[in-house]
Amino acid sequence: MAKITDVIDADTAELIAEELGHTVKRVAESDVEEGLFDTPDADAHLLPRPPVVTIMGHVDHGKTSLLDAIRHANVVSGEAGGITQHIGAYQVTAPSGQLVTFIDTPGHAAFTAMRARGAKVTDIVVLVVAADDGVMPQTIEAITHARAAGVPIIVAINKIDKADAKPERVRAELLQYEVQVESLGGETLEVEVSATQKLNLDKLLDAISLQAEVLDLKANPDRPAEGTVIEARLDRGRGPVATVLVQRGTLRTGDIIVGGSQWGRVRALIDDKGDTKDSAGPSAPVEVLGFNGSPEAGDRVAVVETEARAREITEYRERQKREKAAARGTGARSSLADMMSQLKAAGRKEFPLVIKGDVQGSVEAIVATLEKLNTDEVAARVLHAGVGGITESDVTLAEASHAVVIGFNVRAHKEARSLAEQAGIEIRYYNIIYNLVDDVKAAMSGLLPPTLREEMLGNAVILEVFNISKVGKVAGCRVTDGTVQRGANVRLIRDNVVVHEGKLSTLKRFKDEVKEVVAGQECGMAFESYQDMRVGDVIECYNVQEIKRSL
Ligand code: GDP
């Protein structure tokens, strides 16, 4: 019998409802999100949209300078005249008349962080390589990240104004990473630029529009908007402010929007020039005012029909967040200590690591030193070693392989930190190579089986064997040298051959059970589950010590 406030399971509920003549349609909680994103558009409704560009490259190769140069060059020539404000993305007009949207957070950390959340924002990557420095670790990383996302690259060879600029070298070096630029017969567009001298910026924009044409980017502007949060913050005067890149449809003031676990009604839309807008179409970045709370960068945004739907979705997401947080406490951890026991249990003797450092030199040194620790029994396996802060992709990699993440003179990005917390991945920071190596060495040593060492205690010779009822055979012996101890290991030796190995069950002097008998004394001994001892046999008594090994 159920009371009126009792909760019944879904199967019972279905039975009862059908009994009462109703038709039941089972739904999952996650169904509230159904149809929120990615409902397809008919081809006929698709119109060309501006490309969205992210600038990537090695530190100090001029990403920020290039973004600034493009923006300012455009403002000066543009009719608006106003200085652009920073909203996380901006739009400029290429000489061809095409609009181009630039994401204003250079670097692949942001790029990959967004991609990890399933937000594909970027259409084209501009890879900045300084002509005086050539291809560097982060250049390579940027190439990998762009490839992984399936986004075409345009190479901007920067700093060509410098006397020691060697653009040819950059082209040749890129070949090694399978980036073949046009002038070497490849398909990757390349432009020589100078961010500080504002050289060839137009050419770069032309290359971008050309690439965009090839990509044939289209979206339906005539539908409820969908987009992605590029940046979000809490503004003291204006409340939560989110920069949203509209990806399809048109966002209008008054629309009800959902982003992550936040929702709101669009109060105002502000573009990168600081102007208030009524609407924003595909590929347009706009600041959105009106969210109830700050969504997170990378959150997808969609317009919904009613406040009720918005509430339903955000409440569901909020609940999910809480459940995840609760699950986190019990989730599998990978700390150095736990890993040792895990690996031991699995019989595997590899020690997976993800290593990030501040400079290539130290990363190489760490990897080389760790490799020297490798033996036949244990090995440090470096899954990934690279230069730069610890990113979400590092943590994901570590999670997939149960590895520990090590940061040498670098720290984890905020997103990476929270991801690591969620996934229970340990991130260790070091600033001294020796400490790092020592810790890893200690952890690896824990994987080695201990060495067993025998410690000789003493010998006894059997003088007589008694058969005692209930007890069985007991050997009457004299200890010839050292001591004999109860509980120690013993071997029975006959004519110099070991006939039995085991433990003593009894050690008696006269009638008393004793712990130890010393040389010269007589005693009675019996073995655990062994009876066949004879007069003249020698009993050897020894201890076994487990000695922890270290590398
Ligand atoms: P980021 O770390 O990639 O964002 O690089 P920055 O934009 O901060 O530039 C690093 C340094 O390179 C700065 O000192 C810039 O002034 C300089 N720089 C950037 N572009 C050029 C260029 O085209 N020519 C010269 N000579 N210096 C440049």
Is ligand 1 within 6 A of the CB of residue 194?
yes
Pocket test for ligand 1, best of 196, 200, 201 (most atoms within 8 A of CB): 196
Last residue of a domain, one of 304, 321, 338: 321
Work out how many domains the chain is built from and give that number. Answer: 4
Q: What does the pLDDT profile of the chain (551 residues) look like in tens digits? A: 888 888 888 888 899 999 999 998 887 777 777 778 777 888 888 999 999 999 988 888 999 899 889 988 765 444 444 455 678 888 999 888 899 999 876 555 566 666 666 567 889 999 999 999 999 988 888 888 888 788 999 999 999 999 999 999 999 999 998 899 999 998 999 999 999 999 999 999 999 999 999 999 999 999 999 999 888 887 878 888 999 999 999 999 999 999 988 999 999 999 988 889 999 999 999 999 999 988 887 888 999 999 999 998 998 888 887 777 655 444 444 566 666 655 554 554 778 888 998 877 788 888 888 888 877 777 888 888 888 888 888 888 888 778 889 999 888 888 888 888 888 888 999 888 888 888 888 888 877 777 788 888 999 999 999 888 777 888 999 999 999 988 888 999 998 888 888 888 888 888 888 999 999 999 999 888 888 889 999 999 998 888 877 77
- Give the three-state DSSP class for 41: coil
Task: Please indicate, yes or no, whether residues 433 and 532 belong to a single structural domain of this protein.
Answer: no
Task: Please indicate, yes or no, whether residues 72 and 118 belong to a single structural domain of this protein.
Answer: yes
Task: Please indicate, yes or no, whether residues 107 and 185 belong to a single structural domain of this protein.
Answer: yes
Is ligand 1 within 6 A of the CB of residue 374?
no
Q: Which atom of ligand 1 is nearest to the CA of 195?
A: 23
pLDDT on residue 332: 47
pLDDT on residue 289: 94
pLDDT on residue 81: 45
pLDDT on residue 214: 93
Is ligand 1 within 6 A of the CB of residue 107?
no
Per residue, the 3-state secondary structure of 164-213, as one string, reads CCCHHHHHHHHHCCCCCEHHHCCCEEEEECECCCCECHHHHHHHHHHHHH
pLDDT on residue 203: 94
Beta bridge partners of 329: none
pLDDT on residue 451: 77
Task: Please indicate, yes or no, whether residues 272 and 151 belong to a single structural domain of this protein.
Answer: no
Q: Return the CATH number at 413.
A: 3.40.50.10050
Task: Please indicate, yes or no, whether residues 367 and 492 belong to a single structural domain of this protein.
Answer: no
Cα end-to-end span (Å), the chain: 66
Return the residue matching tokens 């490259």: 57
pLDDT on residue 66: 92
Task: Please indicate, yes or no, whether residues 475 and 442 belong to a single structural domain of this protein.
Answer: no
- Assess if residue 341 is contained within a domain: no
Are 129 and 139 in contact, with CB atoms under 8 Å apart?
yes
Task: Please indicate, yes or no, whether residues 457 and 491 belong to a single structural domain of this protein.
Answer: yes
Q: Which atom of ligand 1 is nearest to the CA of 162?
A: 26
Last residue of a domain, one of 185, 217, 249: 217
Structural domain containing residue 524: 451-547
Task: Please indicate, yes or no, whether residues 502 and 515 belong to a single structural domain of this protein.
Answer: yes
Q: Judge residue 308's burial from the number of C-beta atoms within 10 Å of its C-beta, 0-12 exposed, 13-18 middle, 19 or more buried.
A: exposed
Task: Please indicate, yes or no, whether residues 357 and 406 belong to a single structural domain of this protein.
Answer: yes
Is ligand 1 within 6 A of the CB of residue 161?
yes
Task: Please indicate, yes or no, whether residues 533 and 384 belong to a single structural domain of this protein.
Answer: no
- Assess if residue 165 is contained within a domain: yes
Q: What is the DSSP string of 76-105?
A: HHSSS-PPPP-SSEEEEE-TTS-EEEEESS
pTM to 2 decimals?
A: 0.59
Last residue of a domain, one of 447, 468, 500: 447
Is ligand 1 within 6 A of the CB of residue 61?
yes
Q: Return the CATH number at 149.
A: 3.40.50.300
Is ligand 1 within 6 A of the CB of residue 62?
yes
- Assess if residue 326 is contained within a domain: no
Q: What is the dihedral of CA 330, 335, 340, 341, to 10 degrees?
A: -10
Task: Please indicate, yes or no, whether residues 526 and 476 belong to a single structural domain of this protein.
Answer: yes
Q: Which atom of ligand 1 is nearest to the CA of 199?
A: 23
> What's the Cα-to-Cα distance from 536 to each of 361, 462, 477, 507, 533, rounded to whole Å?
70, 5, 9, 18, 9
Task: Please indicate, yes or no, whether residues 475 and 541 belong to a single structural domain of this protein.
Answer: yes
CA 193–ligand 1 middle distance (angstroms): 11
